[in-house]
Structure 1
Amino acid sequence: MAEPVDALPLPRPRILRQSWLDLTFVHWAVDPESIAHFYPEGTRPDTFEGRAYIGLIPFRMAATGFARGPALVPDFLETNIRLYSVDDTGRRGVLFLSLDANRRDVVAIARTVFGLPYRHTPMEYEVSASIHTYLTQQPPSRITVQVGEPIEPGELEHFLTARWGLHVRRAGRIWYLPNEHPAWELRSAELLELEVGSLLTSVGLPDLSVEPPDHVAYSPGVRSYFGLPRGSAGR
């Protein structure tokens, strides 16, 4: 298999833009073999120093629309569970196990058009000074963090956040949806509450919540752009 490659310039046309805001990154390090069964043929776990990572990321989605023009979708909340992937051509990306959102229209469109595993659930986001709380109803979860000072991203932070696309299986093929965004501004974050057992169990990770996360961080967010999906055969 080819070695992973760095991000390529996003080809035109850009088809979509989004702003990802007020994100908390919660990550567990695991044995790559323990999650290999989640990956479709043609992809495999991407690793950092021999470990794979599972990410749980709640945030606000804003300003979704075409690359130019007004936003087409009102702001909404999302919580996703993701893995880190690399395909046979060396493209690094993410592989979503679930994407929970509180807008039914977004869920329907994303599932139909892109084949992404979106699910609808009522959600809430609360912020008071440096305390941020994210809640989902079904499956129930509650994440509360206290945001601290800016941190200088290291190699692990770049591995977890500098992702330039996502892998998705659709119509019998592996598709890669490329994106671009600026470097993340990251801040330290202390977990005050983490009640996510049902959420993790719902995607086949029943034992993960008994372990404390290996990495937690917060970001005020970035604006991202997506290009046209590419098939599994090329970049």
Structure 2
Amino acid sequence: MHRAFLHLQHRPIPLPSSSWLMTQVWSNVLFMHWPIQPEALKGVFPPSLQIDLYDHTAWVGLVPFQVSNMRFHGLPSIPLFRSFLQLNVRTYVTHQGIPGVYFFSLDVNHLPSVVGARLFYLLPFRQSKMAATLNDSCRFQSSYSFGQEEEELDVCYTPLSSPYSADKGTFDYWATERYCIFTSRGNKLYRGDIHHTRWSLQKADATFFRNTMAPFLPANHWNEQPIVHFSKEKKAFFWPLQKI
């Protein structure tokens, strides 16, 4: 048993009774969060979900990281899925009191992951051009284009503080300690459970060279400086989607 399953007290809901389906390791994770008026998000995710607010404000996050050591339960790691980059655009929602994450887009530089995740997890994965320099000072670049649509992120980031675990009730805890995702197909809503130990966070600094992600948001959304956190590594476990 992985040590993650010895730490369950931080979960807002119990683990599913079934076995986990897949595991992967996330490295050099950057959390960047911007406040946004809740009205700006209406109509861009399923109406059966409720916007989750912190300090009476909705939040949109950009989260770039590296994925590695992906494997399915009972099987060895898959060479084809050994390592790739990912960039998530997300917000925070609840359903029947359960907090979770809703993704507007999930960009990767790995076509098999796009196909598999769209098929089995009904998530809006997209193939993008990506590059990363991942060391003490990281740089992450992503470019997605489809027809006339183009979204880019070019950011350099550096951890500033010693690692810490966020306290319940703080924004740091609220924005990172999320253990399920919500997605939909047609008028059907699905939930996918996730498990990992609590995040070890560091305060961080980010310098943006370009950011045109999520063009459906207000044009000035990215203008102010975000709240930025860094985490070196996390092993996560995923369960199959369940219709709710």
Is the pair's TM-score, using the shorter chain for normalization, greater than 0.5? yes
Counterpart in the other structure of 1:77: 85
Cα offset for 1:208? 1.3
Cα offset for 1:217? 0.7
Counterpart in the other structure of 1:107: 114
Counterpart in the other structure of 1:143: 155
Cα offset for 1:64? 1.3
Separation in 1, partners of 2:46, 2:90: 14
Counterpart in the other structure of 1:50: 56
Separation in 2, partners of 1:196, 1:45: 24
CA-to-partner distance for each residue in 1:22-42, whole Å, 9 max, x for gaps? 111100012222212222021
Secondary structure of 2:160's aligned partner = strand
Q: Where in structure 2 are the equivalents of 1:7-46 lying within 5 Å?
A: 7-46=13-52
Counterpart in the other structure of 1:207: 220
Cα offset for 1:6? 1.7
Question: What amino acid sits opposite 1:78 in the alignment?
Answer: Q
Match status 1:121 vs 2:121? no
Separation in 1, partners of 2:134, 2:120: 33
Secondary structure of 1:163's aligned partner = coil
Question: What amino acid sits opposite 1:226 in the alignment?
Answer: F
Counterpart in the other structure of 1:90: 97
- TM-score, scaled relative to structure 2: 0.86
Separation in 2, partners of 1:132, 1:143: 8
Asked whether the 8 Å contact 2:28–2:134 carries over to 1, the reply is no
Secondary structure of 1:14's aligned partner = coil
Cα offset for 1:194? 4.5
Question: What amino acid sits opposite 2:90 in the alignment?
Answer: R
Asked whether the 8 Å contact 1:175–1:231 carries over to 2, the reply is yes
Counterpart in the other structure of 2:191: 176
Cα offset for 1:67? 2.5
CA-to-partner distance for each residue in 1:186-229, whole Å, 9 max, x for gaps? 111111235212x232x54533122221x101001211111232
Separation in 2, partners of 1:194, 1:181: 32
Separation in 2, partners of 1:68, 1:150: 36
- TM-score, scaled relative to structure 1: 0.89
Cα offset for 1:141? 1.7
Secondary structure of 1:69's aligned partner = coil
Question: Out of 231, 234, 241, which is 1:219 matched to?
Answer: 231
Separation in 2, partners of 1:183, 1:102: 27
CA-to-partner distance for each residue in 1:77-113, whole Å, 9 max, x for gaps? 00110010101x2221100000110011111111122
Separation in 1, partners of 2:219, 2:191: 28
Stretch of structure 1 that moved more, 32-41 or 51-60: 32-41
Question: What amino acid sits opposite 2:223 in the alignment?
Answer: V
Stretch of structure 1 that moved more, 89-98 or 149-158: 149-158
Give the gaps of 5 or more residues in structure 1.
none
How many pairs align?
223
Give the gaps of 5 or more residues in structure 2.
1-10, 145-150
Asked whether the 8 Å contact 1:25–1:216 carries over to 2, the reply is yes
Separation in 1, partners of 2:66, 2:218: 24
